[in-house]
Amino acid sequence: MAAAGAIAAADSGLPLPRFVSLKAGEVNARAGPGFRYPVNWVFLRKDMPVEVLEEFGQWRRVRDIENAGGWVHQRLLSGRRGVIVAGGEHVLYRDPDTSARLAARAEAGVQGRLLSCSGAWCHVDLAGHRGWMPRAHLWGVYDGETVE
């Protein structure tokens, strides 16, 4: 997907694409931007990161880490940033350095909160374990994106 530097304008004035998270533990993703469209998918993980690809009025076309998704009403989305550990088991370090002490190990699919990102490292909270993980091991943040 496009990097944060290659952004199109959206109806909301916010950048596209962008990452947001789900506000509820059950969110319907519809075939089109409106309640009259059938539900194609149901997201079941509150705070899960999703990528907003398109906007139409109050509706956002989103996808998850597995490319599942559809149109979701904007009131069910939050600007709070989340991440998912991608690609296997990875180490969460106490500092942004591979020689730092380990804070935890996380398997692919573990969901957490994105606290900040700069350079190749992101500060995250994974199930109450705070630490640093290389950006390349996380889904929910773009290459080169700075998050404060």
Per-residue pLDDT tens for 105-136? 999 999 999 999 999 999 999 999 999 999 99
Write the pLDDT tens digit of every residue in 68-102: 999 999 999 999 999 999 999 999 999 999 999 99
What CATH number does the domain containing 41 carry? 2.30.30.40
Residue 3 counted as domain residue: no
Residue 63 counted as domain residue: yes
Question: Dihedral through CA 99, CA 100, CA 104, CA 109, nearest 10?
Answer: -60
- Show the domain range for 124: 83-139
Please indicate, yes or no, whether the overall pTM of this predicted structure exceeds 0.75: yes
Q: Please tell me whether residues 90 and 63 are part of one structural domain.
A: no
